[in-house]
Amino acid sequence: MPKKNIKSPDTSSPKPKPQLSVKDRATLESLRNVANKVEKMAVNKRDPQLVIPMRSLSNTQYNQSKRILQMGSKTTERPLFNLSSAKSFMQTMLVSSGTRQLIDQNKTLSIRGLYYMLKHKIKPSNEVTFEEQGDCDTIIEDVEVMLGCLREEMHLYADVRGGMVGNIQFLDSGDLIDCTHLGSGGYQIPSIVESEVIKFKPTSAKFILHVEKGTVWQRFNEDKFWRKNNCILTHGAGQPPRGVRRMLYRLHNELKLPVYCLLDNDPWGYYIYSVIKQGSMNLAFESQRMAIPDAKFLGVRSDDFKRCGLNESVVIGLSDTDRKRAKQIAAYPWFAKKKDWQKEIDMMLDNGFKLEVEALISRDISYVTEVYVPERLKEGKFLD
């Protein structure tokens, strides 16, 4: 039999460009503006430079009317023809170029992946573009503030930390997620939770309870606290990552759900609450899209040792570092004029010890879910 001529598939035609979202087009436009300014300077025989808003404590301000931390107006120049900034100029342009590639291809990448994607030697020298991950992370944040966008809008994500369960349904990349039927593990909150990815369904949930650690969250999930109290239960594995904070922000603002925080009675727990409520100094440029000024501190409180009848074996003595940190937090502008918070921190210092949420388990395995939190919610005596 004569052999049939089998045609090879035609790979010469270009792949159709993916559809870009409104945010993607806006981010690309910001990137083009940066590139155009650099090009214009070079064409006009001016030294190319980038202007980056300063991410520093000296350029961070507390907006009393909005009740959030915000970045000030100070900027820093990053010229190409300057030995001290030439490398960071190049790195900034590299990250910007990598971001453009990701958006053009409608793909996402971890910040670790971007580091490897951009890392290479600059021939003929042995100089590398990025020595280590931290160098790349810093530049990513610089590009964020330069473009005025979230890292997630640059199609970059970090490791998944944090979970959610409860009376909420939503579409995640087109897949329907029902957080009432996710077993013991719940839903892992991703790094990118923007409206193009996560689309909420209406919910009858009454509030959000955010707990500090996954181990405590597991207790609440196993006891079906969210079902008995018609709520959404989240955790951030300690200091909540950006995806968790952004998810809380969206749930609170779009679904009008109050946020209550169950955190350790120590300076670290206070700081976590401060970050959720007012934003962080490191990410002050994104507070308007992450901070929740109306969030409330439910517990653990400094008087719970006596009020709940806990035994002495659960207390943890304060270190000198703890005392110093507590006084720093008490001096934060958003805590300094609040008598209840000053009383709370003073009582912890006078006690000489701190308490973790897990200390409540010494009363009973389910004391925190069946007694402590329901009583706090009923009393409504939260710290603001």
Put residue 342 in one of left, alpha, beta given phi > 0 → left and psi -120 to 50 → alpha: alpha
**C-alpha separations of 135 from 95, 139, 281, 295 in Å:** 11, 7, 19, 34
Q: What is the DSSP letter of 349?
A: H
Q: Is the dihedral of CA 189, 195, 196, 198 positive or negative?
A: positive
Which positions are annotated as active-site residues? 116
Is residue 88 within 8 Å of residue 51, measured between CB atoms?
Answer: no
Paired tokens of 133: 């991950």
CA distance 341 to 272: 14
How far is 225 from 320, CA to CA, in rounded Å?
37
Amino acid, single-letter form, for residue 134: G
Interatomic CA distance for residues 87 and 73, integer angstroms? 24
Q: Which residue has the tokens 């301000």?
A: 61
Exposed / middle / buried, residue 231 (Cβ in 10 Å: 0-12, 13-18, 19+): buried
- Per DSSP (E only), the strands in 278-334 are 296-299, 316-317
